[in-house]
Chain A
Amino acid sequence: EPEVTQTPSHQVTQMGQEVILRCVPISNHLYFYWYRQILGQKVEFLVSFYNNEISEKSEIFDDQFSVERPDGSNFTLKIRSTKLEDSAMYFCASSDLGGTYGYTFGSGTRLTVV
C-alpha cells in the first residue's frame, strides 16, 4: 500500500535555529498538507498546498513557516527560527484529487526545541 514518508522521525534543535522537515507524498497525489500535534493536544491544521502554491493556511502558519515542493517528489516544511512552543509532532499528509480515498498521513516527525 502506498505510504507517505517523513524524515527524520525525531529532531532536536536549539531555539532560534532553522529546521526543515521532509515528506515524500504518495506519487499520484496532488494535494499536500502539514498538521501538528502538540503533546496532549489535538491535531491542528497548518497548511495545504496544491499546484505549487499554498491553497489554505491557518493562523498558526505565520511568517516563520514556509513550505516548498523543491523537486516534484519532496514536500518540505521549514521553520526559520524555532521557538520552544514549536515543539510538537508534525504530520505530513497527501490526498488525490477530490479526496476520494481520504487523506494519507505519514508517521510524523517529533520536533523538540530546547
Chain B
Amino acid sequence: EVQLVESGGGLVQPGGSLRLSCAASGFTFGSYWMSWVRQAPGKGLEWVANIKQDGSEKYYVDSVKGRFTISRDNAKNSLYLQMNSLRAEDTAVYYCAGGTTTLGYWGQGTLVTVSS
C-alpha cells in the first residue's frame, strides 16, 4: 500500500522558518518525481514545487522562489520542504504528492500556520 506521511507543520511567526518532511513507503520512491502542493484554508489547491528523481532539477511556483527549497533523500525515502521568510499567505495545509505531470499519490497533509 502506498503511503505518504507528512510532518513538521505548526505555528510559526512571520519571517520564521519551518522544515516539512514526507516519508514515503509502498512504492519505488527514487523512481518518481515528487511534488509539494498546498491548500490555504477554504481555498483551492496550489502547486508549490517539484523535484526530479535524482534531485538534479527543482522547480517552484513564483510566489515561493528564493524562500522555499525542495529536497529529497532517496536512501531514506523522504521528501523535504525547507520554508524560510514565511508570510501569512503561506498559511495552508501542505501535501506531498508523487509525480509531476500527474499527481497520483497524496499524503494526508500537514498544517502550517504563519501568525504572530
Bound pair (A, B): no
Task: Report A's interface with B, CB cutoff 8 A.
Answer: none
